[in-house]
Amino acid sequence: MPTPTQNQVIALLAKEWDTTGPPGIMDITDIVTALPLARTETLAALKDLFADGLIDMNKFKTSAFLTPDGYAAAEREREGKKENV
């Protein structure tokens, strides 16, 4: 189960997926800039999400995108927030 920090990264990538279509590719720099987190927190979350198979990266590790499992995790998080409202 993703941490709150990881959920922020997943949510951002899911928004990109919804806007531009799958897989919602974003430059790492853009991810770091878009989130209200320390750079080190964001990079650690990306590393952990990659290890868990929820995101993937290009071969140069300069951009990241959701895997289908990552998008499913974003959907579960969205549904959980709807139920709590």
- How confident is the prediction for the chain on average, in pLDDT? 93
Percentage of the chain lying above the pLDDT 90 cut:
86
In degrees and rounded to multiples of 5, residue 34 shows phi and psi of -75, -25
4-79, CATH topology level: Arc Repressor Mutant, subunit A (1.10.10)
> Which residue numbers in the chain have pLDDT < 50?
none
Write the pLDDT tens digit of every residue in 6-27: 999 999 999 999 999 999 999 9
What are the structural domain ranges in the chain?
A: 4-79
pLDDT for 80 = 80
**Exposed, middle or buried: residue 57 (CB in 10 Å: 0-12, 13-18, 19+)?**
middle
pLDDT for 82 = 66
Whole-structure pTM value: 0.91
